[in-house]
Structure 1
Amino acid sequence: MPIIFNKYYPLRTIVFFLGEGLLILLSLLITDWFFTSSGLFYLDLGIILLQAFLVTMIFQLCLYFFDLYDLASDLTLTHTITRMTQAFGVGCIILGTVYYTIPFMMLSGRVFWAAYVVICLSVSIWRGAYYLILRKRLFVQGVIIVGTGEFASDIAREIEGVHDSIYKIIRFIGESEPEFNPNLASVSRELSPVEELEDDHEIERVIIALDDRRGVMPINTLLDYKIHGIPIENGVTFYERVTGKILVEKLAPSWIIFSDGFSVSRWKYQVKRMIDISLSLTLLFCSLPILILTALLIKFESPGPVFYLQKRVGFKNKEFNVIKFRSMGVDAEKNGAVWAQENDDRVTRVGKVIRKLRIDELPQLFNVLRGEMSLVGPRPERQVFVDRLKEVIPFYAIRHELKPGVTGWAQVCYPYGASEEDALKKLEYDLYYMKNMSIALDLLVIFKTIKTVLFRVGAR
């Protein structure tokens, strides 16, 4: 399975994405050739390719921002076409702006709108065919799960609970029926000898997901499977690879000790710091009018300071003052620290707006410039919550071995959390980020954050 930006992506998904891009590109080139060719195939091929690449890039970005590359849930073709039309409509507006700024990139109106019709038809057919592949569960890998307990059910939910899964559970190995088995995969007490699988070409992977391995691991049989070319995979590693998070409750300290990752080289740290400073300065400069307007609105609406300073636990457990625009009344925590709630009545009218738009987070860029935070990393929490979460959540303290971030992998992958259970779920993503941290992954998080802010996902 290919790794892109330190994140695993199924080959089938990559082929779908690239194939759709090629389809848009060819639709533009063929339409342009049909209307403008005079017998020779493109005297100005370079500029036409550039124009076609521009349209393809913008249209695919819009498809991404409208969640049309998130195929975990079963979308109807009608719903897809509706959202696709909206995405392409936004794409046309963006292209209009680009064409006004850079006129030589503009396709002729006749070519563009003819190509637009061809693109809509071809992409609809392409997606209809791909949805059929997903529904028929074609091009999937058959797996055996050794275990039928809670751990095995957690993995089964990730395999069978999403529409675009590239895996299919063929068999469970264990003493009892698993809690989650929607496709009624067979259950066997023992792992069959590898010789009995020679005619069963569906079995391509074995996943070890035992709640307790003592005395029950079929070592000799697993060795035979391995020698015969069938991959054997630890359940925690498999779960990390397919979900982008680490299953904390099933994690053993030895897995962290012996696994790759969880370390930052001096070079990587320096590059990350340079990116933090340059992007923070750029964002502050670009958002200066918004910052000034927000400060004035906060001051006019209610008495008190414009900025809200709050102690948070940062790198190496050192406390620092995180800087935010004040979105609550000055006496919001007179009764002590509490988790933020949905429709929190402590939030002011201006506060509701700036929270929805994430404008209240912008002053944290000053924390980044001061070296207390990074643009990307685990979100900092207050000491009172940290002390409580360390007691109930294993490995929670590890997250303080990195600088906290203005945004993070957990923030773009999990909705806003305000409970101990949510903190556990977000820690799964934070540990994944710590294990796989790279500049490329940081850029992916920033890109996903832009989408989250534009569509106001998870704000509270």
Structure 2
Amino acid sequence: MGIAKNNLSAIFLLNKSKIIDLKTAIKGKYQSFQAPFSERQALLVSVDSLLILWSVYSAFWLQAQTTQAGFDVIARFRSNWYWVPILLGSWWVLAWLNDLYDIPSSTNKNRSIVRIIIVDLLSLGTHLIIFLLIPNNLSYHFFLYLFFNSLLVITLWRWTYIALFKRFQHRVLIVGRGKRGQFIANFLKQASHLNYQIIGYVDEGPTLADPMPNGLPVLGEVSHLPRLTRQFKVGEIVIANEKNLEAGFFEYLVECQAQDVRVSLMPDLYERLHRRVPIKDITPDWGLQALQERAIFNRFQLGLKRLLDLVLATLGLIVLTPFLPLVMIAIHLDSRGPIFYRQIRCGRAGKPFYIIKFRTMVTDAEQDGNPRWATENDTRITRVGRFLRKTRLDEVPQLINVLKGEMSIIGPRPERPEFVTQLQQGIPFYSTRTMVKPGLTGWAQIHYDYGNSTEDALIKLEYDFYYLRHWSLWLDLYIIFQTFGVVFKLKGT
């Protein structure tokens, strides 16, 4: 997260490190809640909600104009006030499940239109079902008017949003022209939907006459920062240096801050935009301090998380238990072997426990004794097992693990000890996953498909690290909500 105004508390040099530690200057309430809900998402949700309300009112007005007897629109609106939360709530749920508030997609005109039409059609169907179930004085015409009104105004609004967004670019200046600086520059250039304009680099040493390999110029030294931010109207400075900077660097940043320029560490900017932590580009000092700041180690918060686990696991078993016999019969008829499958996994602090799942593979799937990840078209997976994995139904028995306290509803997925040993040797900071209980679903699961390689494990760890840094009950609820979308779209393994 960038440095908020009047919140630049301290910047100091680490004698033997390669990076200036700015972490004490990056604290604030916004950082703890930035994960699930960005400012742009808040804008989209707010305007969409206002337009839905307008569509409801205009649907009543159109109904009044086309009805022979007519009626008082305000009075009809008030008498049906309870429909407002129903209509808004159904829109929000369907919009989230169909990624209508996904920021990268929100700047793609064609993709936005398709998703608006899908959400509007699903909303119409949902509203008509509720209309038949709840006594009311509405009509089918009202819902048709609502459908066309909302489709029109929200489409026009999203087109306007895209046009305005592309006109206002966020100007960035990068401190450091080494590998870290080039990495973040290339990332911002490739992520065109983020609308960042990279002005160039500043660094110690003489300015290069020729641009860097990525075409960006080196505009000057660190001492030139205040002048450059004014000259190029810079909105953010990204610290991506790989060596100690001069002692006056703090004063230069303070002067830039007085111009309302945001200052971010490279890992923080990448984290803020990508929703994951760049593991290979952080130092042990940065990682340790980043984790110590988080509420995940607060006993009160952990108590609330445990309470949420107990409530959700109990409700889940109550709701799903009537359907489980059908799953058990299907497994039995599909292939020979036990219904349930137990396997050792690593829990919190690496403590082993037995995870419980519905069996989705043939018996003796690893009869050669060599543990291996499942692949996309793994022949070991049964027909019923493939369906169970796609719908995540194979993981329902893990609710028992949650009740026993071995797992949480939300957290990093538990890995097998054999894989943990292998991954710890090849991935830095991998052991941080065991700081919390493993979960049924998590931040990595809703953002990244199933992986079966060390590279996939690294990416999932970056998402897990992000979850550890930004954990809150709100984030857990957000992940639960998004998990339903993953299940409905059959994105399981």
State the TM-score, normalized to the length of structure 1. Answer: 0.90
Return the letter of the residue paired with 1:214: N
How far does the alpha carbon of each residue in 1:354-389 deviate from its partner, in whole angstroms, 9 at most, with x for none?
Answer: 111111111111110111000000111011111111
> Is residue 170 from structure 1 mapped to residue 170 from structure 2 by the alignment?
no
- Larger displacement relative to structure 2 (319-328 or 4-13): 4-13
Contact 1:412 1:449 in 2 (8 A): yes
CA positional deviation for 1:169 = 1.5
The corresponding residue for 2:349 is: 316
Contact 1:308 1:326 in 2 (8 A): yes
The corresponding residue for 1:425 is: 459
How far does the alpha carbon of each residue in 1:236-270 deviate from its partner, in whole angstroms, 9 at most, with x for none?
Answer: 12222222211111111211333321642222112
> Is residue 61 from structure 1 mapped to residue 87 from structure 2 by the alignment?
no
The corresponding residue for 2:169 is: 140
Structure 1 pair 46–160 and aligned structure 2 pair: CA distance change class (3 A): farther
SS at match of 1:287: helix
> Is residue 155 from structure 1 mapped to residue 189 from structure 2 by the alignment?
no
* Matches of 1:60 and 1:239, distance apart in 2: 28
Return the letter of the residue paired with 1:213: K
Contact 1:5 1:444 in 2 (8 A): no
The corresponding residue for 1:253 is: 284
Structure 1 pair 33–289 and aligned structure 2 pair: CA distance change class (3 A): same
The corresponding residue for 1:202 is: 233
- Larger displacement relative to structure 2 (379-388 or 243-252): 243-252
How far does the alpha carbon of each residue in 1:278-314 deviate from its partner, in whole angstroms, 9 at most, with x for none?
Answer: 1111111211233211111111222211111010000
> Is residue 101 from structure 1 mapped to residue 172 from structure 2 by the alignment?
no
The corresponding residue for 1:26 is: 54
The corresponding residue for 1:214 is: 244
Structure 1 segment 43-442 matched on structure 2, within 5 A: 43-73=75-105, 77-104=109-136, 107-134=138-165, 137-174=166-203, 181=214, 184-191=215-222, 193-194=224-225, 196-197=227-228, 199-200=230-231, 202-210=233-241, 212-214=242-244, 219=249, 221-259=252-290, 260-261=293-294, 263-335=296-368, 336-442=370-476
Larger relative contact order, structure 1 or 2 (CA cutoff 8 Å, min sep 6): 2
- Larger displacement relative to structure 2 (237-246 or 304-313): 237-246
Return the letter of the residue paired with 2:57: L
CA positional deviation for 1:337 = 0.3
Structure 1 pair 92–450 and aligned structure 2 pair: CA distance change class (3 A): same
**Structure 1: unaligned runs, 5 residues or longer:** none
Structure 1 pair 3–90 and aligned structure 2 pair: CA distance change class (3 A): farther
CA positional deviation for 1:322 = 0.5
**Matched length:** 452
Return the letter of the residue paired with 2:119: A
* Matches of 2:462 and 2:212, distance apart in 1: 23
How far does the alpha carbon of each residue in 1:42-97 deviate from its partner, in whole angstroms, 9 at most, with x for none?
Answer: 23544444323422331232232222222415875444333322222222222222
Structure 1 pair 337–123 and aligned structure 2 pair: CA distance change class (3 A): same
* Matches of 1:372 and 1:268, distance apart in 2: 18
Contact 1:71 1:163 in 2 (8 A): no
Contact 2:345 2:354 in 1 (8 A): yes
Contact 1:409 1:430 in 2 (8 A): yes
How far does the alpha carbon of each residue in 1:176-210 deviate from its partner, in whole angstroms, 9 at most, with x for none?
Answer: 8556x4xx543335246255347536301111112
The corresponding residue for 1:7 is: 35
CA positional deviation for 1:128 = 1.3
Contact 1:25 1:53 in 2 (8 A): no
Structure 1 pair 198–440 and aligned structure 2 pair: CA distance change class (3 A): closer
Structure 1 pair 156–197 and aligned structure 2 pair: CA distance change class (3 A): closer
Return the letter of the residue paired with 1:406: L
Structure 1 pair 448–217 and aligned structure 2 pair: CA distance change class (3 A): farther
Structure 1 pair 4–389 and aligned structure 2 pair: CA distance change class (3 A): closer
* Matches of 1:132 and 1:254, distance apart in 2: 42
Q: Percent identity?
A: 33
Structure 1 pair 18–296 and aligned structure 2 pair: CA distance change class (3 A): same
* Matches of 1:71 and 1:360, distance apart in 2: 31
**Structure 2: unaligned runs, 5 residues or longer:** 2-29
SS at match of 1:114: helix
Contact 2:226 2:256 in 1 (8 A): no
* Matches of 1:209 and 1:217, distance apart in 2: 17
How far does the alpha carbon of each residue in 1:152-178 deviate from its partner, in whole angstroms, 9 at most, with x for none?
Answer: 233234433334315322222356855
SS at match of 1:432: helix
Return the letter of the residue paired with 2:185: A
How far does the alpha carbon of each residue in 1:398-456 deviate from its partner, in whole angstroms, 9 at most, with x for none?
Answer: 11111000101111111211111111111111111111111111101101111111112
SS at match of 1:273: helix
